[in-house]
Amino acid sequence: FSIIFGVIVDNKTPGKLGKRRPFLLLALPLWVLANILIWFPPWYAPQADSFFWPTAIFFWSMTILQAISGTLIFNVYLSMLPEQSQTQKNRKVVASNRAIFSIIASILALLLPLIVQSILADPENVKWWQPSGKLILLYIPMIGITFAIFGLITIIFTFFSVDEKFHNNTSINEKNKISIVSTIQQIAVPIKDKKFRSFLGVRFFHGISGITLGILVVPFLVIVLKFRESEFFIYVIVSIFSKFTW
C-alpha cells in the first residue's frame, strides 16, 4: 500500500486544504477507531478454544485497518518532511530529532508492557479469565487508548502547522502524473542489480530478526528466565543503554 498511496498523494491536485494534508484527515478517523476497537473484541475466546475464529477475524480486521490507515498517515508525514525543511542544515536537525524520538518510542513500547508484567502475581498464566489476565485487560487497553489519543492530537497539530501554499505555484505542479504500474516498474529496475538484491536481503532478514525479538522477548523473560516483579527492569536498562549506544 505504500506504493499505491505514494502515487495517489503525489498525483493529487492541490486544493484549499493543500496537497498532502487532506490525507491526514482522511486516514486519521480510521486509525483512531482501529487503535481503540482492537482492545474490545465482541467475543472472548472460550476457555476450551484458544483459537476462536470470530475473535481472530475481529483482531485481524482491526490490525489490517490500523496498518492501512497508519501507512497512509506515515507516507504523508514522510513526504512532507523534505518539503517543509528547505535547507540541508534544517533537514539534518529534523532527521536527528526524528531518530531520537523513534528510540524513545521504542523504549516506551517496551517499558510500559513490562511495567504491567511486573505487577502480575502469576505472569505465566495470563488467560483472560485468570486474575493476571484480567489485570492485563484493564491496563493494556488504557495504555493503548492513551497513545491513540496522543497520536490523534499530534496528527491534528501537524495538519494545522504544515504550510502547503507553495503547491499552488503552477510551475511546481506542471509535471506529468505517474501511474501505479510505471512506479512499480521503476522500483523493479534496481532489483536487476546483484548488489542491490544483496542489500535487500540484508534489510529483510534484519527486519525479521528485530520483529522476532520484539515478539519473543516477554515470553522469554517470563517462561525461560522466570523474571518476576522488578526483575523485568533489568532488560529495560540493558535495552535503553544498547539503543542509545547504537
List the grid coordinates of 164: 502547503
Specify whether the CB–CB gap between 127 and 136 falls below 8 A: no
Instruction: Give the Cα separation of 167 and 173 in Å (integer).
Output: 7
Instruction: Give the Cα separation of 29 and 203 in Å (integer).
Output: 32
List the grid coordinates of 188: 523493479
Which residue type occupies 207?
Answer: G
How many of the other CB atoms lie within 10 Å of CB of 235? 18
Mark residue 120 as left, alpha or beta (left: phi above 0; alpha: psi -120 to 50; beta: remaining).
beta
Instruction: Give the Cα separation of 56 and 41 in Å (integer).
Output: 9
Alpha helices for the chain (secondary structure H): 2-11, 21-37, 53-84, 88-118, 131-161, 180-188, 194-219, 232-245
The pLDDT of residue 149 is 92
Sign of CA dihedral 150, 152, 157, 163: positive
Instruction: Give the Cα separation of 123 and 119 in Å (integer).
Output: 9
The pLDDT of residue 94 is 77
Specify whether the CB–CB gap between 183 and 6 falls below 8 A: yes
The pLDDT of residue 65 is 92
Tell the residue number behind the cell numbers 484527515, with chain if given: 25
The pLDDT of residue 58 is 92
Instruction: Give the Cα separation of 66 and 1 in Å (integer).
Output: 12
Specify whether the CB–CB gap between 14 and 167 falls below 8 A: yes
pLDDT digit string (tens) for the chain, length 246 residues: 667 767 777 667 776 777 778 888 888 999 999 999 999 888 888 887 777 888 889 999 999 999 989 888 888 887 777 676 667 777 777 778 777 888 788 777 778 888 888 888 888 888 888 888 888 888 889 988 998 998 899 888 888 887 766 666 655 555 566 666 776 667 777 777 788 888 888 888 888 887 887 788 778 888 887 877 777 778 777 777 776 666
Specify whether the CB–CB gap between 173 and 13 falls below 8 A: yes
Specify whether the CB–CB gap between 46 and 106 falls below 8 A: no
Dmax over CA atoms of the chain, in Å, equals: 65
Predicted model pTM: 0.74
Tell the residue number behind the cell numbers 514522510, with chain if given: 78
